[in-house]
Amino acid sequence: MRKIIITFLSAALAFSLASCGAGSTAATRNTTRVTDGSEASITKNNNDIKVRNLLIVSTPDGTGVLVGTIINGLPVEDALLGLSVNGIAATFTGTSTLPQNSPIRLEGESANAKATIPALNAVPGNHVTVTMFFANAGELTLPAIVRDQRDIYAGITP
């Protein structure tokens, strides 16, 4: 009787431990959002523009500063013509052309462009609407969260 109980418990333990893995369709395997920033793309009509980790940093003077990366995945060059946040035109400086796999980086150590929105007065924690205008790909509108100027965003200035 003791051998039967030990065998039964061993089999039950083996099945319960073996079934801990949820397989290749587990919800945790499908997680792609690892930042606060928004992501969007234009992949129709022979375009492949991707926006990654886009967010706004609110500064004490009410200015909003865009943070994020814009990438063109196709050999046909595109260009960022302009952008707006909540209908307010952004002041854009730096690289605006988008050759294949040469991203526009807004803020950070490898930044090659800067976009500021004067008098945005956005409240951290809220979302705003960002609209980007591209020469070939057209218009892309996406929501972006507003972050305050602290932690990794402490060095972001207008």
Predicted local confidence at residue 3, as pLDDT: 77
CATH number of 37-153: 2.60.40.1890
Per-residue pLDDT of the chain (158 residues; tens, 9 = 90+): 777 777 777 766 666 665 555 666 666 666 655 677 899 999 999 999 999 999 999 999 999 999 999 999 999 999 999 999 999 999 999 999 999 999 999 999 999 999 999 999 999 999 999 999 999 999 999 999 999 999 999 999 99
Q: Which of 88, 70, 66 is nearest to 78 (CA)?
A: 70
Q: What pTM, to 2 d.p., does this model score?
A: 0.78
> Checking DSSP bridges between strand 49-58 and strand 138-148, what pairing results, if any?
parallel
User: DSSP readout, 59-75?
Assistant: -TTS-EEEEEEEEE-SS
Give pLDDT, residue 76: 94
What is the model's pLDDT at position 16?
64
Domain ranges in the chain are 37-153
Distances in Å between the Cα of 16 and the Cα atoms of 6, 90, 151 are 15, 57, 43
The predicted structure's pLDDT at residue 112: 97
pLDDT at 14: 67
CA distance 136 to 148: 33
Q: Identify the pLDDT of residue 21.
A: 58
- Give the angle 60-65-70 at the CA atoms, nearest 5°: 165
Residues 66 and 83: beta-carbon distance below 8 Å: yes
